[in-house]
Chain A
Amino acid sequence: MAEAVSIRGVARVFSGQGSQVPVLRGVDLEATPGEFVAVLGASGCGKSTLLRLVAGLDSPTAGEIKIGGRTVIDCDPRCAMVFQEPRLLPWKNIAQNVALGARGVPDAETPAAMLERVGLAGNERAWPYQLSGGMAQRVGLARAFVRKPAVLLLDEPFAALDAFTRLQMGDLLRETCRDRSRTVLLVTHDVDEALRLADRIVLLGGKPASISAEYATAGHDPSRLRAEILGRFGLKEVA
């Protein structure tokens, strides 16, 4: 079951040797259950940091993050994360990697069934090193999907893929999320990807970063929305 995500007044300051680097400040974001929200921002603006905070892989310096009304304190079992790189465990075969996602999920699909859904049927026993980048990222998605997460967290999952594979994976993701059985936070720097996939687009910017604008995609002309968002980043659309 999808759960609401509530991010309130979140700040994250990284402290290194003697220096303090504020990355996020006063981030507020609410996602309703089943909503697909894209967090759009330039490289290095703190998008991934925000996602890691939601996953409970890191804790905010200030503010609070709740999933379904409960505060996130440690790695949250209701989340499943897809990273920028596939991050498959090299010593587990493909099926075992997917099975990691199914851990502790009572009625999880079998790895074989899950792999078939992402177009990798018959490769259960292959090792990660034998896969292409696109195939490996499909396994990464399968590992997250099989978890039936209340909240799916996607950290630029398609950034390293070629344009064609990226479109394929986008379709796969949209298909899978169509039934609204999970809330999705997608972090990306790709405006078109955000427009194609998300119900709502929020812009993360500034130093330290906070939410600077948000747009609902439903009922809007994508190309006008695109021009407007690009304008926000100081870019003019090339005709």
Chain B
Amino acid sequence: MAGGQSPPRLAPPRVRLPVSGIGAIRSLIVPLLILALWQLAVNQGVYSRSQLPPPLDVIAAGRELQDIGLLVPNVLASVERVSIGWGVGSAVAIILGLAVGFSRPIEGLLGPTLNALRAVPSLAWVPLFVLWLGIGEAPKLTLIALGAFFPVYTNLVSGVRQIDRKLIEVGRAYGLRGWSLTWEILVPAAFPSLATGLRLGLAQAWLFLVAAELIAASRGLGFLLIDGQNSGRADIILLSIMLLALLGKGTDWLLARGERRLLRWSDTFRGTA
């Protein structure tokens, strides 16, 4: 009883992952260029060798740390802090962001306060955290969570407020209420903004990790940075920086992958080929 002949079947949707052959090579051009310039600067003697060691020395420093068992534990300590801090900060931000985004009374109650807190540069809290929480893990995790919180919260609230009212109406017309409406309409509709917030929040978490570890830590990449500074080891400092770059990029790539998978329904501009 179909009206007319069937329209053609559509090709199944395909997920394109960002890194593929040519893309991978292209993404390496600039880092290789930087390495070359670095080596060139060393050869030209711009700084003394102890101030600016050549790239290979940095790798040697990594091997040295590995041999005395200091590389992996320090990296893991930082990864753990970022994971916990970002996880907790994001979780709280999702709850508050949904609540403030959905309910105007809750927005009236919490919105202004949260916006005022956001205006405080988060590092300003450090002295207070140290006074209250000491110098153990608690103040570090709190700081990282705080850093991750605001990007997630802000993006989610604005994402919820940009949901197409017509789609909410569809949900209501087809019998969705309360939780089912939240789950099936509001959350997926706000998800693109949430994903942006989570990625920005993760970048903030790495930023605040280093801040926290620079202040007081006995392990972690921030500790390696301070240790390198105190012992005049530029190779260790550079190693820590490169590890931070790799870890930051790597974790962001993981999130980007997840985001692409979950947003394969979206029809947005992805840049020209």
Residues on A with C-beta less than 8 A from B179 are: none
Interface residue? A135 (CB, 8 A): yes
Q: A75-B173, A103-B174 known; A125 and B13 CB under 8 Å? A: yes
Contact with B along A106-121 (1 / 0, CB 8 A): 0000000000111111
Contact between A117 and B170, CB atoms less than 8 A apart:
no
A129-140 near B? 1/0 per residue, CB < 8 Å: 111101100000
Whether B175 pairs with A75 at a CB distance below 8 angstroms is yes
Q: Are A126 and B175 in contact (CB under 8 A)?
A: no
Please determine whether A119 and B10 come into contact, CB atoms closer than 8 angstroms: no
The answer to whether the Cβ of A199 comes within 8 Å of any Cβ in the partner chain is no
CA distance A175 to B1 in the complex (A): 7
Known A89-B185, A91-B265, A176-B1: A127·B175 in contact at CB below 8 Å? no
Where chain A touches its partner, the secondary structure class is: loop
Q: Is the CB of A119 within 8 A of B267?
A: no
Partner of A103, one of B2, B7, B175, B265: B175
Within 8 A of A (CB), among B1-41: 1-7, 9-10, 12-13
Stretch from A23-31, A59-67, A165-173, A220-228 forming part of the interface with B: A165-173
Partner of A55, one of B7, B171, B173: B173
Question: Within the assembled complex, what's the spacing in Å between the Cα atoms of A92 and B187?
Answer: 13
B80 at the binding interface (Cβ < 8 Å): no
Contact B174 A100 (CB under 8 A): yes
A177 to B167, CA, bound (A): 26
Known contacts A119-B6, A125-B13, A126-B10; decide if A87 and B166 are in contact (CB<8 Å): yes
Does B63 interact with chain A (Cβ within 8 Å)? no
- The answer, yes or no, to whether A231 is at the interface (CB within 8 Å) is no
Q: Does A104 contact B (CB under 8 A)?
A: yes
- In angstroms, Cα B13 to Cα A91, docked, is 13
Whether A101 lies near B174 (C-beta < 8 A) is: yes
With an 8 A cutoff between CB atoms, is B172 at the interface? yes
Instruction: Give A93 to B12 CA distance when docked, in angstroms.
Output: 11
Closest chain B residue to A130, Cβ basis: B10
* Complex CA distance for A223 and B12, rounded to whole angstroms: 46
Count residues on chain B whose CB falls below 8 Å from chain A CBs: 30
Q: Which residue of A lies closest to B174 (CB)?
A: A100
The smallest C-beta distance from A119 to any residue of chain B, in angstroms, reads 4
Nearest-Cβ distance from residue B271 to partner chain A, whole angstroms? 17
Which A residues are in CB contact (< 8 Å) with B166? 83, 85, 87
Quick check: A118 and B3 within 8 Å, CB to CB? yes
Q: Is the contact region of chain B dominated by helix, strand, or loop, or is it mixed?
A: loop
Chain A, residue nearest B164 (CB): A87
Please, which residues of chain A bring their CB within 8 A of the CB of B2?
Answer: 116-119, 172
A132 touches B167 (CB 8 A): no
Q: Note all chain A residues with C-beta closer than 8 A to B272.
A: none
Q: Does A81 contact B (CB under 8 A)?
A: yes
CB pair A169 B3 closer than 8 Å: yes
B174, A126: Cβ atoms closer than 8 Å = no
The proximity string for B residues 111-125 relative to A, scoring 1 for CB distances below 8 Å and 0 otherwise, is: 000000000000000
Distance A104 CA – B266 CA, assembled complex (angstroms): 28
Sample of 16 A–B contacts (CB below 8 Å)? A75-B173, A85-B166, A87-B166, A89-B185, A90-B265, A91-B188, A91-B189, A100-B176, A103-B176, A118-B3, A119-B6, A125-B13, A126-B12, A127-B265, A132-B7, A170-B3
Given A119-B6, A126-B10, output 15 extra A-B contacts at Cβ < 8 Å: A57-B169, A87-B169, A89-B184, A90-B266, A90-B267, A91-B265, A93-B265, A103-B174, A119-B2, A119-B4, A120-B7, A123-B7, A125-B12, A127-B13, A176-B1
| A interface residues (Cβ-Cβ under 8 A, vs B) | 55, 57, 75, 77, 79-81, 83, 85, 87, 89-93, 100-101, 103-104, 116-123, 125-132, 134-135, 143, 147, 168-172, 175-176
Q: Which B residues form the contact surface with A (CB < 8 A)? A: 1-7, 9-10, 12-13, 166-167, 169-176, 184-185, 188-189, 191, 264-267
Q: Lowest 7 A-B CB distances belong to which pairs?
A: A172-B3, A129-B267, A119-B2, A91-B188, A168-B3, A126-B10, A122-B9
